[in-house]
């Protein structure tokens, strides 16, 4: 009986040893597999951390990972050779824990990377003549970005709006986008449309769409021909300048559309727009004042600011037009008119002869001085007689 029991014990011991050997072999295989998996996960984690601009790592400290805070940053990992080169007797539980931590770290780093991609603007920054890079560099919000080459933001979306970039400022009275060129002759904002669209457009709900808020200067390139456009589609509201600077407005959409030329005024001479008074006014009548015009005595007549029935020529008018009437002249002669303060011209505004009953009238257009006055002066042409005449000045319009 003892021999049989001993044989059974020996067999049990052998079976137990065989089972343990098999388990150890399986553990060794599992450990090797897990070690390879850990190494692969560490490589992924290192690549993700390196892509975020942080130093790449190739090893993982399980304890550091377990204690790291992955909210808002990649896990804090350190190189520890005892983890990467774990002893072959490492238990399955420790290996599984290490692998789980490594996988969690990779997932956490991936989440951080994904969140940064979704919250960060990226743009290509390359010289204009260079190929576009496959990987964009981040544009940091709330900071100052310094670019040494052209930055291109390209929209690959199929959105029907075709919007490439939207900059919004929800604060009342604040600016959404500023284009600043620090160098002389540069361009703050340049809008280019490669087809037949619009380069730059400004829109408001009820305010001003476009403001020249610096010097107020606006430049418009000249069309390469004289006159309004003769071809191409044009939209009502467009304006162009021809090759000599004349301004044209499109009033009807079409090809080439209907155009009107805007009156141009030379700055070499006193000039402006012609305006008619709502009714003629009489600004001076010597028969009422009792002060006639005397030969050889220049007389100034105030034109601007003289209101008759609520009608007047406004201050700043450059000239006026109307009718000059000479009544009861006592000499044969003429009267000259010119802007007050100007040199006496060798011209005549009206000619007449002595008469006790007749009146002579003539239309005129004359410039005015800065104070809104003109000057009359009488001259004898022939014969003898007196030296006075009555005169009446009626105004029908002005130039301003």
More confident residue, 116 or 187: 187
Question: Pick the residue with more confidence: 117 or 305?
Answer: 305
Over range 301-330, report the average pLDDT: 97
Q: Name the residue with higher pLDDT: 31 or 72.
A: 31
Average pLDDT over residues 294-313: 97
Share of the chain above pLDDT 70, in %: 64
What value does the mean pLDDT take over residues 305-323?
Answer: 96
Cα–Cα distance for residue pair 48/107, rounded to 1 Å: 10
Do the beta carbons of residue 145 and residue 139 sit within 8 Å? yes
CB 340 within 8 A of CB 371: yes
Q: Could you tell me the pLDDT band of residue 65, with boundaries at 50, 70 and 90?
A: very low
> For residue 124, is pLDDT > 60?
no
Q: What is the mean pLDDT of residues 384-396?
A: 95
The chain-wide mean pLDDT, for the chain, equals 76
Per the omega criterion (within 30 degrees of 0), is the bond before 19 cis?
no
Strand segments, DSSP code E, in 136-235 are: 137-139, 150-152
pLDDT at 97: 53
pLDDT, residue 253, reads 96
Q: Which two tokens stand for residue 45?
A: 């984690």
Percent of the chain with pLDDT over 90: 39
Mean pLDDT of 382-394: 94
Report the candidate in 276, 236, 275 with the shortest Cα–Cα distance to residue 256.
236
Instruction: Tell me the H-state helices in the chain.
Output: 2-51, 62-67, 81-84, 92-119, 286-289
Quick one: which of 95, 94, 60 has its CA closest to 74?
60
Q: Which of 129, 177, 174 is nearest to 150 (CA)?
A: 129
- Domain segments of the chain: what residues? 2-118, 226-264, 274-399
The Cα diameter of the chain in Å comes to 182
Higher pLDDT: 396 or 88? It is 396
The answer, yes or no, to whether residue 193 has pLDDT greater than 60, is yes
- Highest mean pLDDT of the ranges 65-69, 104-108, 368-372: 368-372
* 79 pLDDT higher than 50: no
Cβ-in-10-Å burial (0-12, 13-18, 19+) of 178 comes to exposed
Mean pLDDT of 38-50: 61
CATH topology of domain 274-399: Jelly Rolls (2.60.120)
Q: What's the token pair of residue 216?
A: 């107020």
Distances in whole angstroms, Cα of residue 174 to Cα of each of 44, 118, 169, 170, 177? 45, 26, 7, 8, 9
Q: Which residue has the higher pLDDT, 259 or 33?
A: 259
Which carries the bigger pLDDT value, residue 151 or residue 213? 213
Give the pairing of strands 258-261 and 247-252: antiparallel
User: What confidence score (pLDDT) does residue 121 get?
Assistant: 46
Span of 131-135, 236-240, 252-256 with lowest mean pLDDT: 131-135
The whole-angstrom separation of Cα 243 and Cα 245 is: 6
Comparing CA positions, the residue from 319, 234, 312, 317 lying closest to residue 277 is 312
Per-residue CA distances from 282 to 46, 125, 217, 374 (Å): 96, 74, 42, 14
Residue 118 has pLDDT above 50, yes or no: no
Contact criterion met (CB below 8 Å) for 317 and 303: yes
pTM value surpassing 0.85: no
CB 274 within 8 A of CB 291: no
Q: Which of 93-102, 107-116, 190-199, 345-354 is modeled with the greatest confidence?
A: 345-354
**SS3 assignment, position 10:** helix
pLDDT reported for residue 77: 39
Give the separation between CA 263 and CA 276, rounded to whole angstroms.
17
Contact, 225 vs 237, CB < 8 A?
A: no
Structure tokens at 164: 């490439």
Q: Locate 312 and state its tokens.
A: 């007047």
């Amino acid at each position: 009986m003892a021999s049989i029991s001993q044989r059974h014990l020996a067999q049990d011991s052998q079976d137990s040893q065989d089972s343990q050997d098999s388990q150890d072999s399986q553990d060794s295989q599992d450990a090797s597999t897990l070690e390879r998996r850990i190494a692969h996960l560490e490589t992924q984690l290192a690549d993700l951390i390196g892509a975020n601009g942080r130093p790449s790592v190739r090893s993982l400290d399980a304890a550091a990972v377990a204690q790291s805070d992955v909210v808002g940053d990649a896990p804090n990992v350190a190189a520890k050779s005892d983890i990467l080169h774990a002893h072959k007797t490492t238990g399955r539980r420790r290996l599984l824990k290490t692998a789980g931590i490594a996988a969690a770290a990779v997932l956490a780093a991936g989440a951080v990377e994904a969140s940064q991609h979704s919250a960060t603007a990226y743009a290509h920054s390359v010289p204009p003549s260079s190929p576009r890079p496959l990987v964009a560099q981040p544009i940091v919000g709330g900071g100052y970005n310094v670019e040494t080459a052209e930055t291109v933001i390209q929209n690959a979306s199929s959105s029907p709006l075709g919007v490439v970039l939207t900059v919004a400022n929800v604060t009342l009275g604040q600016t959404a986008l500023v284009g600043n060129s620090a160098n002389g002759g540069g361009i703050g904002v340049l809008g280019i449309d490669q087809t037949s669209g619009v380069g730059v457009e400004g829109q408001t709900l009820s305010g001003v769409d476009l403001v020249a808020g610096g010097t107020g200067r606006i430049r418009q390139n000249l069309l390469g021909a004289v006159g309004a456009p003769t071809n191409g589609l044009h939209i009502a509201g467009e304006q162009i300048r021809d090759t000599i600077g004349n301004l044209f407005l499109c009033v009807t959409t079409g090809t080439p559309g209907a155009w009107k030329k805007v009156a141009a005024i030379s700055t070499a001479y006193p000039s402006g727009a012609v305006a008619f008074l709502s009714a003629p006014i009489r600004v001076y009548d010597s028969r009422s004042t009792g002060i006639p015009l005397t030969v050889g005595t220049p007389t100034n007549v105030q034109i601007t600011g003289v209101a008759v029935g609520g009608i007047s020529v406004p201050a700043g008018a450059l000239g006026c037009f109307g009718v000059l009437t000479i009544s009861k002249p006592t000499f044969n002669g003429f009267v000259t008119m010119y802007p007050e303060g100007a040199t006496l011209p060798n011209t005549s505004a009206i000619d007449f002869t002595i008469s006790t009953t007749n009146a002579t009238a003539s239309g005129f257009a004359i410039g005015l001085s800065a104070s809104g006055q003109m000057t009359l002066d009488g001259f004898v042409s022939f014969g003898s007689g007196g030296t006075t005449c009555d005169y009446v000045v009626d105004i029908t319009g002005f130039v301003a």
